[in-house]
Amino acid sequence: MNAIATIAPAVDIAPLRGFVTSFAELLSGTRDEQAVLDSGHALLQRLVSRDDWLPAAYAKPSAERYQQYLLHCDSRERFSVVSFVWGPGQSTPVHDHRVWGLVGVLRGSERVEQFERDGAGRLRRRGEAEILEAGSVDSFSPRTGDIHRVSNALADQASISIHVYGANIGAVERATYAEDGTEKPFISGYANTTLPNLWDRSRK
């Protein structure tokens, strides 16, 4: 591989900038979670309706495990926007969030399995596994259940989804779950030490 091949083509990140600004305006206008999820669903659906704005650095799978790249965090940590990249066959553990979330598939296809506790406190599957194709959006809330496992539905290529959460999700103290329902404390952090600069309008 020569040096030229390692230079990723520049993308126009304006759609992400517009999404962040619109989402912040939405949050400033209402404190009703369902209204945020409903309007946020429409905003995210617009964002993932095109796949030409995510810089390559935030779309890179790792052979080790799925990657979570922070794209933007609000100044007061009211919300964060994260790119999740699953290599072929990769999967999250079963985990919760403790804040509302929206998931929009940008590239590939993902399998979402939901879980809930039974009367004995054990974890059981809730409903059928759902397949989300590129362009589709899903949401969840602790009000209605936020325990799930997400996997790449494709065996031969990466899948990428854009997630929005009602907090700085990488810093939230939450949990992963063993099959018997045992919780293990979990703070996800982020894979990236630098974020894309969304804000330079002087670049084309």
Give yes or no for residue 29 binding a second copy (CB under 8 A): no
* Closer residue to a second copy (CB): 105 or 169: 169
How far apart (Å, rounded) are the C-alpha atoms in residues 61 and 66?
Answer: 7
From residue 63 to residue 82, the character string flagging contacts with a second copy as x (rule: CB under 8 A) and all else as - is: -------x-xxxxxx-xx--
Kindly state the smallest distance separating residue 194's Cβ from a second copy, in Å.
Answer: 4
* Amino acid, res. 68: Q
What's the residue count for the chain? 204
Q: Which of a second copy, Mg ion, none is residue 171 near (CB under 5 to 8 Å by kind)?
A: a second copy
CB-CB contact of 43 with 137 (8 Å): no
Quick one: what does residue 138 bind among a second copy, Mg ion, none, with the CB cut-off 5 to 8 Å set by partner type?
Mg ion
C-beta of 37 vs 105, nearer to a second copy: 37
Six token digits for residue 41: 């669903």
CB-side neighbour CA atoms (13 Å) of 12: 7
Q: For Mg ion, which stretch binds (CB under 5 A), given 1-9, 28-36, 138-146, 172-180?
A: 138-146
Q: What are phi and psi of 19, to 5 degrees?
A: -60, -45
Considering only residues 144, 171, 178, 182, which one is a binding residue for a second copy as defined by CB under 8 A?
Answer: 171
If binding is defined by CB under 5 A, does position 96 make contact with Mg ion? no
CA distance 121 to 110: 28
Distances in Å between the Cα of 23 and the Cα atoms of 94, 138, 169 are 28, 16, 16
Rg over alpha carbons for the chain, rounded to the nearest Å, is: 17
Checking DSSP bridges between strand 80-86 and strand 67-73, what pairing results, if any?
A: antiparallel
Which residue among 5, 6, 120, 193 contacts a second copy (CB under 8 A)?
193
CB of residue 131 to a second copy, shortest distance in Å: 31
Contacts with a second copy, residue ranges (CB under 8 A): 20-21, 23-25, 28, 57, 70, 72-77, 79-80, 168, 170-171, 187-190, 192-203
